[in-house]
C-alpha cells in the first residue's frame, strides 16, 4: 500500500514539475510584497506560541512543569525531529515525551500523557474540520475515482472522531474497565498504568469548569489560522477564489501530508495543494508559487526558528554552567 502511495505521489510530482516554468515562478514570487510576507511569518509565529500555550495549560492542570520557555524548547526540538520523520509526526511526539521526562522532571507516564492529551485535543479539532471539508469539496470536484475510496476516507475520519468523543465523554467508565484488567506481562502492566494515568488526567481536565471546551476551542483557533494565512497569501496573487474552497484545500492538503510516505509530509502536501489550486482555475505556476511559499511559512520557517531557539537555549545553558 505504501509503495502504491509513493508511486502515485511520484507521478503527481513529475506532472507538477514537468509543467514548471521557472521564469514565471520567479515573476510570481516577486508579486509578494516583503512586508506582507513578513506579516504572514508573524502570524505563523503567533500560531506556534498558541500551541505552546496549550501545552503549558494542559501541563498546569496535570500539576507538572509548565514554564512557557522550557516547553517552547521541548516543542522546538520536537518540530526539528518531525521534519525528518514521515507524515504523522510520531518521532516528534516521542522526542517531546523524552525531553519532558529528562529536562522537565515529568515521570514517563506523565510525559506520555501530556503528549497524548494535547495530540488528542488537536486531532479532534483537525479531523472534525476535515470531515466537513472533505464532504463539501468531494461533491464539488471529482478528486477521488470510485465510491469505495470515499467511503474508506469517511469511515476513517468518523471512526477516529468517534473514538476521541467516546474517550472524553465516558472517561470514568473506561477508567473503571481498564482498572479491572489483570495484566499478565510486564509491557501490559506498563500499558495499563499509562492508560490509567491518561484517563485520570482527562478527568482532571474535565473537572475544571469549561476547561475541556476551552482546549477544543483553542485547538480549533490554532488550526483556523492555517487557512487564514492561505487566504491572505492567495490574495497577493489573485482575487478570483472562493475562501471556503481555499480553506478546504488547506485542511485536505494537511491531512494527505500526514500520511507517512516521506519525512514531514514533503511531496504529498505540495502535490495535493497544487493540484487542488489548479482545479479551482488558478494558473499552474501561480498555484505552485502559492504552495511553496505557504509551505515555507508553515514548515521550513518553523524549522529555522526552532533551530535558532534550540541553539540559543543551548548557548544560554552553557553560559549558566560556566558560572
**Res. 202: pLDDT tops 60:** yes
Of 23 and 189, the structure prediction assigns the larger pLDDT to 189
Tell me how many degrees the CA angle 287-129-294 measures, rounded to the nearest 5. 25
Residue 199: pLDDT over 90: yes
Residue 174 makes CB contacts below 8 A (sequence gap 6+) with 166, 167, 199
Q: What pLDDT is stored for residue 5 in this prediction?
A: 44
Lowest mean pLDDT among 76-85, 163-172, 193-202, 271-280: 76-85
Residue 129: how many other CB atoms lie within 10 Å: 22
For 258-300, where are the alpha helices, taking DSSP H only? 268-279, 284-295
DSSP per-residue letters across 34-80: HHHHHHHHHHHHHHHHHHHHHHHHHHHHHTS---HHHHHHHHHHHHH
Over 90: is that where the pLDDT of 185 sits?
no
Instruction: Please enumerate in sequence order all residues whose Cβ is within 8 A of that of 53, keeping only pairs 6 or more positions apart, or say none.
Output: 68, 218
7 has a pLDDT exceeding 60:
no
Half-sphere exposure of 213 (CA within 13 A, CB side): 3
Q: Under 8 Å CB-to-CB from 280, ≥6 apart: which residues? A: 241, 242, 245, 246, 249
For 75-108, the pLDDT digits (tens) are 999 888 877 765 555 667 888 888 898 888 888 8
pLDDT of residue 293: 92
Secondary structure of 81-96 in the HEC alphabet? HHCCCECCCHHHHHHH
For 127-159, write each residue's pLDDT tens digit. 999 999 988 887 776 655 557 778 888 899 999
Q: Is the pLDDT score of 126 beyond 90?
A: yes
User: What per-residue confidence (pLDDT) applies to 323?
Assistant: 46
Model pLDDT, residue 6:
46
**Cell for 4?**
502504491
Grid cell 541553539 is found at: 311
The per-residue pLDDT for 294 is: 94
- Please write down the long-range contacts of 37-42, taking CB distance under 8 Å and 24 or more positions apart: 37/293, 39/232, 40/229, 40/232, 40/233, 40/297, 41/297, 41/301
| pLDDT above 60 for 261 | no
Q: What is the pLDDT of residue 50?
A: 96
Poorest-pLDDT segment among 146-160, 198-212, 287-301:
146-160
Q: What is the pLDDT of residues 10-68, one digit of tens each?
A: 555 555 555 555 666 677 777 789 999 999 999 999 999 999 999 999 998 888 767 89
Amino acid at each position: 500500500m505504501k509503495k502504491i502511495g509513493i508511486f502515485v505521489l511520484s507521478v503527481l510530482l513529475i506532472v507538477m514539475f514537468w509543467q514548471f516554468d521557472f521564469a514565471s515562478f520567479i515573476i510570481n514570487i516577486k508579486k509578494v510584497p516583503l512586508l506582507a510576507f513578513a506579516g504572514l511569518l508573524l502570524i505563523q509565529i503567533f500560531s506556534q506560541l498558541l500551541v505552546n500555550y496549550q501545552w503549558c495549560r494542559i501541563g498546569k492542570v496535570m500539576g507538572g512543569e509548565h514554564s512557557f520557555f522550557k516547553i517552547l524548547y521541548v516543542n522546538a526540538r520536537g518540530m526539528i525531529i518531525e521534519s525528518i520523520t514521515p507524515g504523522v509526526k510520531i518521532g516528534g511526539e516521542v522526542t517531546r515525551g523524552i525531553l519532558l521526562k529528562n529536562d522537565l522532571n515529568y515521570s514517563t507516564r506523565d510525559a506520555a500523557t501530556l503528549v497524548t492529551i494535547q495530540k488528542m485535543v488537536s486531532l479532534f479539532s483537525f479531523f472534525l474540520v476535515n470531515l466537513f471539508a472533505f464532504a463539501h469539496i468531494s461533491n464539488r470536484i471529482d478528486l477521488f475515482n470510485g465510491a469505495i475510496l470515499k467511503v474508506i476516507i469517511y469511515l476513517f475520519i468518523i471512526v477516529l472522531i468517534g473514538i476521541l468523543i467516546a474517550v472524553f465523554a465516558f472517561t470514568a467508565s473506561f477508567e473503571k474497565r481498564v482498572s479491572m484488567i489483570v495484566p499478565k506481562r510486564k509491557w501490559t502492566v506498563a500499558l495499563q498504568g499509562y492508560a490509567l494515568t491518561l484517563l485520570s488526567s482527562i478527568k482532571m481536565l474535565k473537572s475544571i469548569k469549561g476547561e475541556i471546551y476551552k482546549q477544543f476551542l483553542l485547538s480549533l483557533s490554532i488550526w483556523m489560522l492555517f487557512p487564514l494565512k492561505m487566504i491572505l497569501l492567495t490574495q497577493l496573487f489573485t482575487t478570483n477564489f472562493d475562501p471556503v474552497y481555499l480553506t478546504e484545500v488547506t485542511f485536505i492538503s494537511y491531512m494527505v501530508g500526514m500520511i507517512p510516505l516521506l519525512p514531514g509530509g514533503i511531496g504529498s502536501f505540495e502535490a495535493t495543494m497544487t493540484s487542488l489550486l489548479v482545479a479551482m482555475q488558478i494558473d499552474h505556476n501561480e498555484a505552485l508559487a502559492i504552495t511553496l511559499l505557504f509551505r515555507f511559512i508553515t514548515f521550513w520557517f518553523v524549522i529555522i526558528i526552532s533551530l535558532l531557539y534550540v541553539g540559543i537555549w543551548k548557548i544560554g545553558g552553557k553560559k549558566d554552567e560556566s558560572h
